[in-house]
Amino acid sequence: MPNEALIVVDMQNDFCEGGTLAVPGANAIVPLVNRLIGRYDNVILTQDWHPAGHASFASSWKDAEPYGTVQFPYGPQTLWPDHCVQGTVGAAFHPGLDTTKAQMIVRKGFHTGIDSYSAFRENDRMTRTGLDGYLKARGFTRLVFCGLAFDYCVSWSAIDARQAGFNVGVVLDATASIDVDGSRKRKLTELRQAGINLSETP
């Protein structure tokens, strides 16, 4: 459909098995994601792209541990292991991902002091990536999301897309979750409440 785009979120080495922030089951979804890519004419990829020493890295804070929380100017921020550092193998797309059809790659998280889960807005909720403008300029009205991790970057992106006025779907079996303290269940509820269609790979 000419007005529909598939957005593949953060299918990068550091989020897959063996990576510094590996999402359980990430490698297993690569064939499903590739199957979806094959079905869509319009494909967009997102890529976490942090500078070394990013403020969301636990290593940037004295005595901090990964998965702890600190207060940023925009509110509470989870601290993560160093991941997806610009130009590293960990930031590259999974070698099995079919990137050939990608029409655009959206990089996010490159501002040193702001983390970014959503492909539309960074975590301060003010700094925009420009993705919504690109999609609207191209006439897309429906967006379908897959990738990593469901309970963070996928769900935040999907909710922001809905708030931007798009018809939105998420293909659940083509995602995998970190599931920190029940985050997967919470995000499933939020997506349903936002009117986002949840489906499985056709």
Q: Over range 79-108, report the average pLDDT.
A: 97
Q: What tokens were used for 40?
A: 């869509």
48 with 10: CB under 8 angstroms? yes
User: Which residues form the domain of 111?
Assistant: 4-50+83-199
9 with 3: CB under 8 angstroms? no
Q: Over range 73-94, report the average pLDDT.
A: 96
Number of structural domains in the chain? 1
Please provide the average confidence, as pLDDT, over all residues in the chain. 96
Q: Over range 24-30, report the average pLDDT.
A: 98
Q: Over range 24-47, report the average pLDDT.
A: 98
Catalytic residues: 10, 108, 153
62 occurs within a structural domain: no
Task: Indicate whether 1 pLDDT > 80.
Answer: no
175 with 155: CB under 8 angstroms? no
pLDDT of residue 179: 86
144 occurs within a structural domain: yes
Q: Cα–Cα distance between 50 and 54 in angstroms, integer?
A: 6
pLDDT of residue 181: 83
Q: Greater confidence, 142 or 1? A: 142
201 with 171: CB under 8 angstroms? yes
165 occurs within a structural domain: yes
61 occurs within a structural domain: no
Task: Indicate whether 180 pLDDT > 90.
Answer: no
Q: Greater confidence, 174 or 202? A: 174
Q: What type of residue sits at position 199?
A: S
29 occurs within a structural domain: yes
69 occurs within a structural domain: no
- pTM higher than the cut 0.85: yes
35 with 188: CB under 8 angstroms? no
pLDDT of residue 170: 98
Q: What type of residue sits at position 115?
A: D
113 occurs within a structural domain: yes
123 with 69: CB under 8 angstroms? no
pLDDT of residue 2: 84
Share of the chain above pLDDT 90, in %: 96
Q: What is the CATH number of the domain that holds 153?
A: 3.40.50.850
Angle at 7 (CA atoms; ends 67, 144), nearest 5 degrees = 105
Q: What tokens were used for 22?
A: 């590996």
166 with 194: CB under 8 angstroms? no
115 occurs within a structural domain: yes
